Chain A
Amino acid sequence: MALREVALSPQRALAAKLCVNHLSMVFTRDGKSTPVLQDITLEVSEGEFVCLVGPSGCGKSTLLNAIGGLLAPTAGTVFIDNEAVRGPDPRRIFVFQERGVFPWLTVEGNIAFGLFKLSRSEREERVAHYVKMVGLQGFEEAYPSELSGGMKQRLEVARALAVNPDMLYLDEPFGALDSITRHIMRGELLRIWETERKTIVFVTHDIDEAVQLADRVVILSARPAAIQRIVNIDISHPRDISSPRYLELRDGILQQIGLAHKI
């Protein structure tokens, strides 16, 4: 895939899909200003899976919101395909844990939410496809309040994928799930990523999760967040989570953020 890109248009392949350029963010409230992000520069290439990790409250989600255009940065710019981001865009969809599903719409209604430009038959086809992909058959007419946390999470992922975005932004999407569901969801996300090759930016505080999923892990420092280190995860999928290389990479990251790997 990458080779074909190079062959078709060399300049574009050289430019990153997402480029965060000296981004800083300062929150001002009641006359007090708190720096949250400090001079973040980061490039993500097409089809790449990047995880942002860091201590809780460090500003990971703020960074993701700024990348997605939901927050305006104090300084610096975010470029996507060499175009400055000025606001949210349906080509790049956010997934907010399970909190983003609309409680007043059924499963079908939620998945169809972003498909208002399609014809009725196309829309129905698309909805049925994604209902099946995330395994919610039989729940098409159910409201989110009737679903479990894991089902709501899958629903929100399906709603995001249904509009066929180039990029997905996931903000601790599996944080609220139990460990078994979380494990299954990671597998599903990887499967979807491998078939559809979206560019994914994934925020998590779970280092194991990051090492299992990402091509690269971006480690942020405590607030104000700055990039501490970027780690390449050079293990091919499916990943053996008891292999020496996996443990080495994970422990390296744990050490980097100052956590001993013995309890």
Chain B
Amino acid sequence: MGLLVRLRPIAFIGTLLVLWQVAVSLNPVHILPSPWGVMRGIVDLLHHGLLFKYVVASLFRVSWGFSLAAILAIPLGLAIGWYQRANMALHPLVQVFRPISPLAWIPLAILWFGVGDAASIFLIFLGSFFPLLLTAINAVRNIPAVYISAGRNFGLRPVDLIFRVLYPSVVPQLLIGLRITLGVAWLVVVAAEMIAVDSGLGFLIVDARNAGNRYDLVVAGMMIIGLIGLLLDTGMRSLENMKSFRWAYSED
């Protein structure tokens, strides 16, 4: 019984794959790849050493852009959230910049950094910076006032107040923000690679299509993008489950 229940999702995936295979073999145009074709495509990429190279290229860009954004945006956001006047001054500006799709920056990125890694890292940086900044600002503003009062009451110096009260109370919200933002960064890297560079998983998709309609490679690329995105998300989630952070999610 328990085993049967556990097998159901696998059976569902299996059914979808069979349907896909049948639909493709019934379709005379043969431009869409079958699941089997996609598997062969992945093997093909592995053989040429391209898969590993492209995955590393994409991850390299995401880690740089995302880390730079986190290093800059989180301390800045915490400071802005803490000082009410800074928040009043900068919040409207942040609100205007944030909804500009990072992809709309592509012309400027190319103008400033040329075609290449720096431009796409810049785009990922932009795509991550504003969401993280807003998360950090809101996280500070949502700290219950009693925690600050209690911390001050015990005679903490400002530095200690930051490390012993401010930081632990914002971490859970920051982690959620980091997870959502990492998803956005992963979305942006694919787009950036389709337009602005010549390596990476996004490039793989565009290149496979343009150079000979290799749709098996296109879908293989998509699957790998999905899989890596899922791994990143799961990794971030496991941070949230650490015991010393879990307090924030267990109550209400």
Q: How far is the CB of A164 from chain B (nearest CB, A)?
A: 12
On chain B, the residues within 8 Å of A92 by CB distance are 153
Q: What residue in chain A is nearest B248 (Cβ atoms)?
A: A103
Interface residue total, chain A, C-beta cutoff 8 A: 23
Give the interface SS of chain A, mostly helix, strand, loop or mixed: loop
**B 211-252 binary contact with A (CB < 8 Å = 1; else 0):** 000000000000000000000000000000001111110110
CB distance B250 to A113 under 8 Å?
A: no
Min CB distance A21 to B, Å, is 22
The listed residue (A88, A96, A102, A114) touching B168 by CB distance below 8 A is: A102
- A99 CB contacts on chain B under 8 angstroms: 144, 146
Closest to B243 in A: A143
Nearest A residue (CB) for B249: A145
**Is B153 touching A93 in the complex (CB atoms < 8 A)?**
yes
Q: Are the CB atoms of A104 and B244 closer together than 8 Å?
A: yes
Question: Is the Cβ of A145 less than 8 Å from the Cβ of B247?
Answer: yes
Bound: A89/B147 CA distance, A:
15
The residue that B152 contacts in the complex, of A70, A105, A143, A163, with Cβ under 8 A, is A70
CB contacts under 8 Å to A, within B150-194, are 150, 152-155, 160, 164-165, 168-169, 171
A92–B168 alpha-carbon span in the complex (Å): 24
A87-120 interface code vs B (CB 8 A; 1 in, 0 out):
1111011101001101111000000011010000
| B169 neighbours in A (Cβ, 8 Å) | 102, 104
A172: min CB distance to chain B, Å: 13
Q: Are B248 and A96 in contact (CB under 8 A)?
A: no
Tell me if A173 is interfacial: C-beta within 8 Å of chain B.
no
B149 within 8 A of partner (CB): yes
Q: How far is the CA of A105 from the CA of B147 in the complex (A)?
A: 12
Check: A144 CB closer than 8 A to any chain B CB. Answer: yes
The residues of A that contact B245 with a CB separation of less than 8 Å are: 104
Contact B247–A103 (Cβ < 8 Å): yes
The answer to whether A73 has its CB under 8 Å from any CB of chain B is: no
Contact with B along A108-146 (1 / 0, CB 8 A): 000001101000000000000000000000000001110
Closest approach, in angstroms, between the C-beta of B132 and any C-beta of chain A?
21
Say whether chain B's binding surface is mostly helix, strand, loop, or mixed: helix
Q: Which residues of A contact B243 (CB under 8 A)?
A: 143
Q: In the bound complex, how far is the Cα of B168 from the Cα of A105, in angstroms?
A: 9
A96 close to B154 (CB less than 8 A): no
How far is it, in angstroms, between the C-alpha of A70 and the C-alpha of B154 when the chains are bound? 12
B155 neighbours in A (Cβ, 8 Å): 88-90, 114
Provide the bound-state CA to CA distance between A120 and B245, in Å.
25
Q: How far is the CA of A68 from the CA of B146 in the complex (A)?
A: 13
- A90 touches which of B144, B153, B164, B165 (Cβ 8 Å): B153
Given known A90-B153, A94-B153, A114-B155, contact A145–B250 (CB-CB < 8 A): yes
Contact check, B251 vs A96: say whether CB atoms are below 8 A apart.
no
B149 pairs with A70, CB closer than 8 A: yes
Listed A/B pairs (28) with beta-carbon separation below 8 Å:
A70-B153, A87-B152, A88-B149, A88-B152, A88-B153, A90-B154, A90-B155, A92-B153, A93-B153, A93-B154, A94-B149, A96-B146, A96-B150, A100-B146, A100-B149, A100-B150, A102-B168, A103-B248, A104-B168, A104-B244, A104-B247, A113-B154, A114-B155, A116-B160, A143-B243, A143-B246, A145-B250, A163-B154
Q: Which residues of A contact B (CB under 8 A)?
A: 68, 70, 87-90, 92-94, 96, 99-100, 102-105, 113-114, 116, 143-145, 163
